[in-house]
Amino acid sequence: MSRLRLVARQVRYEDIAFWRNPVTAGFTFLFPLIFLVLAQLVLADRVEVPGVPSADFYTPAVLTFCIVNVCFVSIAMTVTLARDEGVLKRIRGTPLSLGEYLVARVIHAMLITLLLTLIVVVSGGLLFGAPIPAGQLPTLVLVVMLGALAFAALGLAVSGLIPTAHAAPAVVNAIVLPLYVISDVFIPIDAGSLVATIAGLFPVIHLASALQSVWQPSTAPLDPVDLVWVAGWGLLGLGVARRTFGWEPRS
């Protein structure tokens, strides 16, 4: 069997496993919509950027949350659990190589991200009047795909650093929750503040800024530096994942 077919079969397996867990699948798709609605109802007055409606801020903010959640949080937790339950050990006994398994996990995360992107974009446009400006669709696809790849690589890297599946929620949430708060996801951050400077060292705020540029091309045009930061963190994650990823459960 060709390597491409092996990857395709593993992607199909990951998809079947995902949809066979309706609670996880439902939460993955419903929570961003709930977040978008609540943000508009509760936090809309926190958006004080001149000429930027709150929906134009929170639609890309929720999309940032989706990408990080699916490609980083979910991968880090599920891969760690699969390792500790011996699933990865059994996979190692098949013709599927380490690289092919990782590629399949990343591809599946990207497919879910694309579906979530469609849902968030349509919801933001129909419910809150925040459609994508004309001509910004290619930019949106570029940023979403780059973000998905980068955070999937980071999720795989972190999965190799987490000692056990029981520790995964604590470790992953300790990483992402502070970054959400300081990275223009929950609330806008003053670009000149110390908090923004600290956030700028990490990839979440750069992904958020790149997505903000899709909805606000005139007030916040795309800065290629943001894409470089996201890509750089993705490459770092890939390098760490190659060194730390393990098939065997850890005692």
Output the DSSP codes for 66-111: HHHIIIIIIHHHHHHHHHHTTHHHHHHTSS--HHHHHHHHHHHHHH
Identify the band that residue 157 occupies on the pLDDT scale cut at 50, 70 and 90. very high
d(CA 20, CA 143): 29
Q: Where are the domains of the chain?
A: 3-244
Is the pLDDT at 72 greater than 80, yes or no? yes
pTM of the predicted structure, to 2 decimals: 0.91
Angle of CA points 98, 102, 107, to nearest 5°? 150
- Residues for the chain: how many in total? 251
- Residue-wise pLDDT tens digits, 199-225: 999 999 999 999 999 998 877 789 999
d(CA 73, CA 191): 26
- Side chain identity, residue 150: A
Crossing angle between the packed helical segments 137-161 and 203-215, to the nearest 10 degrees: 160
Identify the band that residue 23 occupies on the pLDDT scale cut at 50, 70 and 90. confident
184 touches 208 (CB < 8 A): yes
